[in-house]
Amino acid sequence: MEIRCHFTSVKRCVLATLLMFSAVATSPLWAQGPKGISSAPEAKAGSAPNNRSNDEVAALKEQLAQQQKQIEQLRLALEAIRQRLDQPGGTQQASTSSMPNLGQVASAVPMAPAGPRAADAAPAALSPAPNPGGAPATQAEVQSYTTKVDALSKTVAALNKGLAGFKLGGDFRLRSDNIVRSANSVAGPQQNVRLRYRLRFNIDKAVSDKIDTHVQLGSGTFNNPLTFDTDMAGVNTHGAIFLAEAWGSYHPNKQWDFRGGKMPEVFADNEQFVLDDDIRFNGFQQIAKVPFETSSLGKLTFELRAGQYVLTNPNVQVLPSASQCASSSPPANCAFVTAGFAPGQKVRSTNLFDQGFAISTSGEHWSQQFASNIQIWRNPNALQLATTSAGFPLLVNGYYGVALSGGISGSGNATTTKGGAILTAAHYQVGRISYRIDYKGLKSSRQNFPVYFLVQGARNFGIGFYNNAFQGALNIGETKKFGDVLFKYAFYYKEANSMISQVTDDDVGTGTGVNLKTHAIRIDLGLNKYMVWQNRIYIQNELAGNDPARSFFVPVVWGTGTQYRYQSQLQFTF
């Protein structure tokens, strides 16, 4: 494009040039950039970022910045020329200082006038000039352009946070784990000093503003669902990587969330009480939230939660008869009979149904949460059977497709016979209530000291004795940078029939998940933003001994020597 001006009609030519420049600035072609590269498509609020390469995103960002700079320079140049034309003799001044010589081709790139440079000028709102041959730009058009620019900026920022929309992260932990117990007349000694490591790698992808997916790969062992740790043992063999979590979530709005796959339990709280921190369940869960605004409590949220989980798939339509199981060479399925399943009947799966509610409030410094739920276990004897030598091949090996060396860990509940597969509690219907209060206003000159106090209790309504549990905990501090400290003390009391041992914590209860009282002390020291030195001490004693009159037998009995467990670890986050 070129503009030729005659000296005798400079003012008219200047006005035509102004109109041409403003048309270029407001034209949709201006936003396309060189060679017709169009800007990013408009993104809906909250939608998933477009899946494009990093090079294309970088080019879009640079192009947008250059276009904005050129528009601002053009606006300033036009304003300066208008001011000169409005002054007396402005036409002649413009012709000698700002316009090209007679016959010279005018450049399509705006020329900066004398005076302050565009980079030094104060920014001004974009105000497009009238388009020749058309109506002036409306406020709605300006707003539409601004909205598109904002949407593009959000899209670019979202893409910068992940790789084509995938968010990657995880943690790696090096742990020294030491278990010590002296021998006495009731039980022998314990001494296990070992080094362990844990790796967890997370992959998250928001498919849309309503659908999320999550995958976690982790270290661990095949037959221990209570830990992701791998011992530094096995001579020099390779460590295994497992599918630790895999789930999809559908949330049509902020009030509803539906999830299915392998995931943490819907009431998991990482407090090592009813559930182990590392336990993951296969199944489904639903959460409904209703927010309220109150004058006295601040923001209040009421939640309804429910989870349905599948633990076994025995695939046994008819068990052998009692006579077949009593023969000299009984079928392998007869192991189910030892767990209380009736001969000649179908063996049904083991399930967990958990439902309840939570009420939380939050203010500037204080927040609180009260929660209550009940776990209803179906066929819990199968979990005890999976720990025995006869039962685990039926319930565990089929899932993995390999032959494991032993059953799952985590036994501890009372059984009707010593080492048997029938639990003393006829049913496990575990109710729980929990209250937690947080305060975030405590701080020193060098770090924040958030504080929370927690108390919770549980009761198994499926039996009338040794069926209670409770926990109290106090936590002070956090570790976000070098020198930050955290201190936590917790006390646990879990009777032998209070909850399912195979899913509760194996650090609080070493060798038995229940029938214990334990003092837990934790001290963390921040080394930097991504690394923490953690230290934990557990002091454990047992609560009850065997009681044959009640068909009550436990693996670790009252009178066993006090057991000490010390864990010192470096936690890396990436």
- The pLDDT value recorded for residue 348 is 94
Give the side-chain half-sphere CA count within 13 A for 124. Answer: 13
pLDDT tier at 293 (50, 70, 90 boundaries)? confident
Nearest of 173, 299, 144 to residue 567 by alpha carbon: 173
Cβ count within 10 A of residue 168? 11
8 Å CB contact between 458 and 273: yes
8 Å CB contact between 65 and 153: no
8 Å CB contact between 516 and 540: yes
Between residues 373 and 144, the one the model is more confident about: 373
By percentage, how much of the chain surpasses pLDDT 70?
A: 78
Q: State the average pLDDT over residues 522-538.
A: 97
Q: Is the pLDDT of residue 429 over 50?
A: yes
CA 277/CA 228 separation, integer angstroms: 10
Cβ count within 10 A of residue 291? 12
CA 544/CA 472 separation, integer angstroms: 21
- The pLDDT value recorded for residue 399 is 75
Residue spans of alpha helices (H) in 29-98: 54-86, 90-97
Task: Give the angle subtended at the CA of 456 by the CAs of 292 and 568, to the nearest 5°.
Answer: 110
- The pLDDT value recorded for residue 355 is 98
Q: Is the pLDDT of residue 37 over 50?
A: no
pLDDT in tens, 449-479: 999 999 999 999 999 999 999 999 999 999 9
User: What is the residue extent of each domain of the chain?
Assistant: 7-158, 168-246+382-573
Cβ count within 10 A of residue 323? 9
495: tokens are 């009777």
Residues near 553 by beta carbon (within 8 Å), at least 6 away in sequence:
414, 415, 416, 417, 418, 419, 420, 424, 546
Cβ count within 10 A of residue 474? 14
CA 471/CA 455 separation, integer angstroms: 6
- The pLDDT value recorded for residue 113 is 47
Give the single-character DSSP code of 194. E
424: tokens are 């003393």
pLDDT tier at 538 (50, 70, 90 boundaries)? very high
Average pLDDT of the chain is 84
Cβ count within 10 A of residue 437? 15
Give the Å distances, CA to CA, from 28 to 31, 66, 68, 111, 524: 6, 16, 14, 22, 57
- The pLDDT value recorded for residue 162 is 61
Q: Is the pLDDT of residue 189 over 70?
A: yes
CA 538/CA 506 separation, integer angstroms: 11
- The pLDDT value recorded for residue 12 is 53
Q: Is the pLDDT of residue 561 over 60?
A: yes
CA 106/CA 2 separation, integer angstroms: 6
Cβ count within 10 A of residue 347? 23
Q: Is the pLDDT of residue 392 over 50?
A: yes
Which of 57-66, 342-351, 354-363 bottoms out in mean pLDDT, i.e. has the lowest?
57-66
CA 240/CA 222 separation, integer angstroms: 9
- The pLDDT value recorded for residue 8 is 45
pTM, two decimal places:
0.72
Between residues 163 and 372, the one the model is more confident about: 372
8 Å CB contact between 440 and 568: no
CA 212/CA 248 separation, integer angstroms: 6
Residue 568, helix vs strand vs coil? strand
8 Å CB contact between 351 and 335: no
Between residues 90 and 555, the one the model is more confident about: 555
Q: Is the pLDDT of residue 370 over 50?
A: yes
Adjacent-strand bridge partners of 209? none
3-state secondary structure 94-136: HHHHCCCCCCCCCCCCCCCCCCCCCCCCCCCCCCCCCCCCCCC
Residue 381, helix vs strand vs coil? helix
pLDDT tier at 73 (50, 70, 90 boundaries)? confident
Give the single-character DSSP code of 333. G
Q: Is the pLDDT of residue 553 over 50?
A: yes
The dihedral through the CA atoms of 126, 129, 131, 134 has a sign that is: positive
